[in-house]
Amino acid sequence: MKSIAISNELNVILGMELAGIETGFSEDEDELRRLFTNSIEDENRGIVIITEGINNLLSDLILSHRERGKLPLIVTIPGEAGLKDKDFIMKYVKESLGVKID
């Protein structure tokens, strides 16, 4: 299975390319939506890596894909500035399980 990293941050893309991971870069929201949609529809794709900013920008598409429970796995990583939302993991658990964990 293939992986792809999608971001609007050039340094993240360059780092992923140095690690040998296929990438998709754009600063245009419509193009990012197209890249993401094409990536999740690719039957050979196992993992789609996105930055936190892309997660926020495309949250509707990402949540819809996660609710279907199909591959590829969507993995969110911090962007260049680091993790902005410190409660990200707790929100993800709540969305996934439907319960709040204190």
Domains present along the chain, CATH in parentheses = 2-97 (3.40.50.10580)
Confidence of residue 34 (pLDDT cuts 50, 70, 90): very high
Q: What is the mean pLDDT of residues 10-17?
A: 95
Q: pTM of the full predicted structure?
A: 0.80
3-state class (DSSP) for residue 76: strand
Give residue 78's pLDDT.
86
Tell me whether residue 1 is exposed, middle or buried, using C-beta atoms within 10 angstroms of its C-beta: 0 to 12, 13 to 18, 19 or more: exposed
> What's the sign of the alpha-carbon dihedral 82, 86, 89, 43?
negative
> What's the sign of the alpha-carbon dihedral 43, 64, 26, 23?
negative
Give residue 80's pLDDT.
80
Residue 2 has pLDDT above 80, yes or no: yes
Residue 5 CB coordination number (10 Å): 24
Confidence of residue 11 (pLDDT cuts 50, 70, 90): very high
Locus of tokens 């964990």: 101
- The CA distance from 94 to 90, in Å, is 6
What pLDDT, in 10s, does the model give residues 51-91?
999 999 999 999 999 889 899 999 999 888 766 666 766 66
